[in-house]
């Protein structure tokens, strides 16, 4: 148990360090679908020009298309996913549990990207986005904003999603 806590503490420190590092780097690719606040306006460059950005977008497309196998393929085997106070500790855990609920939920909603920024530095990338979710799910009206951050790692020339944090 203590070994697991130490491992999680090291991972948390690494993710915090990586996040701070990316916030100070200038190698940025940004996409804005909606510009509601000009104070936050950045140069508009398509996220798809970034190879890490392509992986993030393809992961989202696979989730929205209910393609479990394809979505799983974008995740590192040891991905850590934080959502709603819960944690999934591997791609298989997510694929066999919460992924299907995410797919059902998103299939019923319109997802509008408000802002998406990807920063690549060497073999590491960080993706940050905000989305607007609208529609109806299980008879209830949905009108919310979500935030997502991802850390991607490049191994053998391929980007894999190593960490996701979702909040709504």
Whole-number pLDDT of residue 13: 45
The DSSP-derived string for 133-146 is EEEEETTEEEEEEE
For domain 27-167, the CATH class is: alpha beta
Q: What is the pLDDT of residues 46-84, one digit of tens each?
A: 566 789 999 999 999 999 999 999 999 999 999 999 998
SS3 167: strand
pTM (2 d.p.): 0.75
CB 159 within 8 A of CB 51: yes
Domain map (residue ranges) of the chain: 27-167
Which residue positions in the chain have pLDDT lower than 50? Answer: 9, 12-45
């Amino acid at each position: 148990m203590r070994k697991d806590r130490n491992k999680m503490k090291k991972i948390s420190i690494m993710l915090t360090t990586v996040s701070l590092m990316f916030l100070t780097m200038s190698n940025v690719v940004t996409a804005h679908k909606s510009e509601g606040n000009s104070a936050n306006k950045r140069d508009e460059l398509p996220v798809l020009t970034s190879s890490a950005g392509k992986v993030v977008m393809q992961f989202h497309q696979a989730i929205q298309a209910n393609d479990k196998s394809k979505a799983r393929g974008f995740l590192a085997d040891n991905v850590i996913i934080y959502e709603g106070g819960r944690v999934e500790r591997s791609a298989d855990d997510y694929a066999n549990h919460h992924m299907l609920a995410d797919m059902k939920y998103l299939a019923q909603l319109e997802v509008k990207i408000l802002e998406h920024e990807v920063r690549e530095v060497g073999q590491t990338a960080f993706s940050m986005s905000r989305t607007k979710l609208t529609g109806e799910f299980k008879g209830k009206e949905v009108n919310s904003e979500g935030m997502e951050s991802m850390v991607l790692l490049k191994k053998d020339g391929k980007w894999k999603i190593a960490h996701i944090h979702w909040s709504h």
